[in-house]
Amino acid sequence: MTDSSSITPVGLDDGYAYTKVALPDGRLIVIPSRARVGRSGVTWIHQGRQRIFEYETEGTCYSVGAVDGEATHFEGYPFSGLNRAIVQHALQQAGLGGQTLHAVSGLPVSAFYLQDGSQRHNTLEKKRMSLKQSVQPIGERLPAGIAFHEVIPEALAAWYDDVIVERKGGAAIDEERLAIPTAIVDIGGRTTDFVVVKDQAVIHGSSGSLPCGMLDVKQQVANGIQERFDLEALGEQLVAKAVEHRVVRLHGRDYDIASLVESAKQQVVERIRAETRRQLGLGIELDRILFVGGGSVALAEDIANWFPNQTIAEHPAFANARGMLKYLRYVCEASSAA
């Protein structure tokens, strides 16, 4: 038996673009979901400036941090060693090394539910067990161990964040938000998720996933840079900086690529807008449409006037992680794992 007083609960949004951790003390930690197989091949002159860290799981070494990361947008990523290494690094960055954790993470809506609304039990169990596998930091650091792990739909996690209000000494349900029909639009890295909740039930006819997100912007920009400058390959970190700053640095010179980034964004926006209309229509039967996810920050101006009753969540990139933590603390029965 594990002493429950020594267990730390965490909300763990292990997305394809970023991995976010929510902690009971209110801290929110985010790292890029960036790693590759193999040792880093780097010796740090000053250990305090180390930016690449190594982890081993199932006999394979992974380098995490300031590396040109391997693509995470593949079907098996949520159950992969690459995912486990990135999650362990996020937990290390949160100062959780050596601790026993209870965690809730998520899967995209379409990966969680079948079309008839039943759960994909084999997929969920595979995800639950994957993050409970051992991941050993290489060096003197102690691993963070996940003793209990539950999985919920990612956009639904943001609904829990919206309706469960934490106050000093506990939490309460916002009865007004609980009672109204609400849609969550979660614009993430690989997917955009839709969940409609009415009478405390998921309406599957208006819920699902679109395989489109902010990683598509990055890929289109990478393709455009390669075509414009006749390059065979580009480092993943270089592309990420180019998208963020709208400038690409090649051969010691900066080149303006703002038009390329804007074009890529607009293509993604139009795909998401079309799917949002397909899923939610004009939103006339919904009292509230809540946008969450990192894409809601990056595309805030582009999505600003889609519905008269829409709003963007506070710190939307962390809405799922916060909701996962609230689900773990106030809804989920994790005590059986102790």
The reported pLDDT for the residue numbered 174 is 92
What pLDDT is recorded for position 115? 87
State if pTM tops 0.85. yes
pLDDT confidence of residue 169: 73
Q: Where are the alpha helices (DSSP H) in the chain?
A: 81-93, 109-112, 121-130, 154-163, 175-179, 214-229, 236-245, 258-280, 294-298, 319-330
Rounded to an integer, the average pLDDT of 149-162 is 96
pLDDT at 176: 92
- pLDDT tens figures, 324-334: 999 999 998 64
Tell me the per-residue pLDDT of 76-122, one tens digit each, with 9 for 90 and over: 999 999 999 999 999 999 999 999 999 999 999 999 999 889 999 99
**Collapsed DSSP state (helix, strand, coil) of residue 196:** strand
Q: Which of 197, 113, 97, 103 is nearest to 156 (CA)?
A: 197
Question: How far out from the chain centre does Cα 9 lie?
Answer: 18
User: For the residues 245-251, what does the mean pLDDT come to?
Assistant: 95
Q: Tell whether the model's pLDDT for residue 338 goes beyond 50.
A: no
Q: What structural domains does the chain harbor?
A: 4-167+318-337 (3.30.420.40)
Please say whether the beta carbons of 199 and 178 come within 8 A: no
Take residue 104 and report the two structure tokens written for it. Answer: 């809730």
For residue 17 the two structure tokens come to 């673009």
Q: What is the pLDDT of residue 336?
A: 41
Residue 251 has pLDDT above 50, yes or no: yes
d(CA 326, CA 310): 23
What pLDDT sits at residue 2? 45
pLDDT digits (tens, 9 = 90+) for 24-33: 999 999 999 9
Q: Kindly report the backbone phi and psi dihedral angles of residue 108, in degrees, each rounded to the nearest multiple of 5, phi listed first.
A: -55, 150
**Would you put residue 12 in left (φ > 0), alpha (ψ -120 to 50) or beta?**
beta
Convert the pLDDT of each residue in 31-69 to its tens digit: 999 999 998 877 666 666 788 999 999 999 999 998 988
Q: What is the average per-residue pLDDT within 307-324?
A: 96
Quick check: 262 pLDDT over 90?
yes
**pLDDT band, residue 73 (cuts 50/70/90):** confident
**Residue 18 in this model has a pLDDT that exceeds 50:** yes
The overall average pLDDT reported for the chain is 93
pLDDT (tens digit, 9 = 90+) per residue, 270-292?
999 999 999 999 999 999 999 99
pLDDT average, residue stretch 194-201: 95
